Amino acid sequence: MAGWFRRKINSIADYKGLKMRIPGLGGKIVGAAGGTVVLTPGGEIYTALERGVIDSAEWVGPHDDMKLGLHNAARYYTWPGWHEPGTTAEFGFNKKAHDALPADLKAIIDYACQSIQVSSLMEYEYKNTVALLKLKTEYKNKVELTQLSASTLKELKKLSDQVIKEESERTPMAKKAYASVTKFQKELNDWRLISEAAYHTSIA
């Protein structure tokens, strides 16, 4: 999701002056759009949003957002999550320590990482489905689900490309990662558009 907003986002111009809790690259892009990024700790987001200290906040998705009570702090729940359209888990460890492990323990780590990635993704797909339905039914008079316009998304994409390109030039590793992800995304997009995306669009 793009986040919770105290006022509706109708165009890219509405990001100007917007005080938003959104970290990382998403925050840099909101800043480039004219917004002010406020790095509010997770436990303080609800209070800050409810009291108007911030105008909007991005957290996780319907399930976790409702656990945090954000549906009681702002009216407009906006989609899609342009800054994070998908989620992946990651497991960091010391490469030298990993390489020194015997083959069987390396295999256990590989399997554990794969298992957590798949099971957690599927679990959240279900939990977000349930939470979204709840927002649409039990909270339909309190929460308004809104979609960012195509023109707003195009402007955010331009800013995203600019910010990410600049970030990629900071280090050789960032440059390498950027080139790899960009290439894969372009190739994957052709498939996704004629598979899942085409199916869901046709039955919507």
User: Would you kindly state where each structural domain of the chain is located, as residue ranges?
Assistant: 3-168
* Residue-level pLDDT at 90: 83
Bridge partners (DSSP) of residue 37 are 20
Give the integer Cα–Cα distance in Å for 5 and 49.
9
CATH class of 3-168: alpha beta
pLDDT in tens, 72-81: 999 999 999 9
Residue 99 gets the label, from left (phi > 0), alpha (psi -120 to 50) or beta, of: alpha
Would strands 144-147 and 56-57 be described as parallel, antiparallel, or unpaired?
Answer: unpaired
The burial class, CB within 10 Å (0-12 / 13-18 / 19+), for 199 is exposed
Which pLDDT score is estimated for 45?
A: 97
Q: pLDDT at position 87, please? A: 76
pTM metric for this prediction: 0.88
Which residues, 6 or more positions from 12, have their beta carbon under 8 angstroms from its beta carbon? 33, 151, 152, 155, 156
- pLDDT < 70: residue spans in the chain: none
Rg from Cα positions in the chain:
19
**3-state SS, residue 169:** coil
